[in-house]
Structure 1
Amino acid sequence: MVDQTQPWAERTVEVPPQRNAGFRPGVASVGQPTEHRREPSTEPFPVVGHEPSGTGWPGEEQPRQRMPLSYHMQQLRRGGEWSAFGALFSFICWGIWAISARGDLTSPVLTFVLTVLVAIGLFALARLVGRVVWERQFGRVRRTAKGAHLVAGVFLFVVGVAYLRQTEWVISAWNWVTGR
């Protein structure tokens, strides 16, 4: 009997030696070789196709459902009052500046068009940053474009103030009102 004081001893069992007919230790029984077997030695497994269940394979990221263009356009319109206010204020201030310049309007028109193009680029940049930060990093869904419209509106408002600061009679009137 095995010494039961060892921790492994209680999990082992002694088996009495048995004699099996035809068993020789260290020698494997192999069938007789045959010439040119036509049958495969193994049977192939049947191929099982993937039936979609709506959940996909484990660990596979699900594709996002594409929204129609009308949804995206509606999303871009929300918050547009900020951009509209900034554009209107900038246009009025640009008009005052352009009229007070008393000359050819080619340069002021080109300046305003360039300002609007920069505002559109700033709006697009704000949307891109919002997509990367808000949607991808935080995993949130954007339902409006208020932040991007606010950025563009503030930019256009500041540009309008800059147009007014370049107009001499507006600065004179401002100094007179404030008492400087």
Structure 2
Amino acid sequence: MPEQPQWSERTLDMPPQDPWAEPPTAVPTPPTPSAPSAPEQSPFTRGRARVTQRTQQFSHEHEPTGTGWPEEAGHAPHEPRSLSWHIRRLRRGSEWSNAALIFAFVCWGIWVLSSEGSFVTAGIVFFVTVCVAAGVFALSRLVGRLVLERQMGRVRHTARGSHMVAGLFLAGVGFAHLRQTEWVMDAFHWMVGLFS
């Protein structure tokens, strides 16, 4: 009976096995001691892996994050901006002037329906009122630009202050229309007489 190879000899001669591979079809025969065979070439070779050093480079510069207005990030202070940017900036805070405009329109409507005058004349009065309110808005923006931006060095992100000033003007015009309406003033004096 031929000698069986030792455990260490059997494991060295076997190539690494994949546990999920299909089983081999032919079984290798162990070498006989009478005819020593040449050692098989290993599929692996000894050597040293080449490692290249990579220097880390950033593709673009640091972008600041944090609080602030997102569309103003990365712009120089005096860089010209588009018309849509300026319009978006002017719309911030417009709820003040829009609410006051609706109030002034309702008061104007009450005054027109209660008076005996011409509707065309009343329409011209309301149109002039809206034009003056736009002028008040523009004037307050100009004053804010001269005082806040140039003198104090502050940046205005909204037009809320100018909208509030224009809204106060429109609310005042609305109350003036109500004061010229006779039945509204009678109702007001009656209400004041109840609590006095």
- TM-score, normalised to structure 1's length? 0.64
Partner of 1:98: 112
Partner of 1:125: 139
Task: Answer with 101-110 or 87-96: which moved more.
Answer: 101-110
Partner of 2:158: 144
RMSD across aligned positions (CA)? 1.5
Partner of 2:169: 155
Matched residues, number: 119
Shift of 1:178: 1.3
Distance 2:77 2:170 in 1: 38
Distance 1:121 1:64 in 2: 26
Partner of 1:108: 122
Shift of 1:161: 0.3
Distance 2:85 2:118 in 1: 44
Shift of 1:152: 0.1
Q: Which runs of 4 or more aligned residues in structure 1 lie more than 4 Å from their structure 2 counterparts after TM superposition?
A: none
Query: Quick check: which has more Rg, 1 or 2?
Result: 2
Distance 1:128 1:93 in 2: 29
Which consecutive residues of structure 1, in runs of 5 or more, have no partner in the other structure? 1-61
Partner of 1:84: 98
Partner of 1:12: none
Shift of 1:64: 1.6
- Aligned runs of 1:54-65 on 2, under 5 Å? 64-65=78-79
SS at match of 1:142: coil
Distance change >3 Å, CA 68–CA 169, structure 1 → 2? same
Shift of 1:63: 7.9
Distance 2:77 2:156 in 1: 18
Which consecutive residues of structure 2, in runs of 5 or more, have no partner in the other structure? 1-75
SS at match of 1:139: coil
Q: How big is each residue's C-alpha offset from its partner over 1:117-153, in whole Å with a ceiling of 9 and x where there is no partner?
A: 1000000000000000010001111100000000000
SS at match of 1:71: helix
Shift of 1:70: 1.5
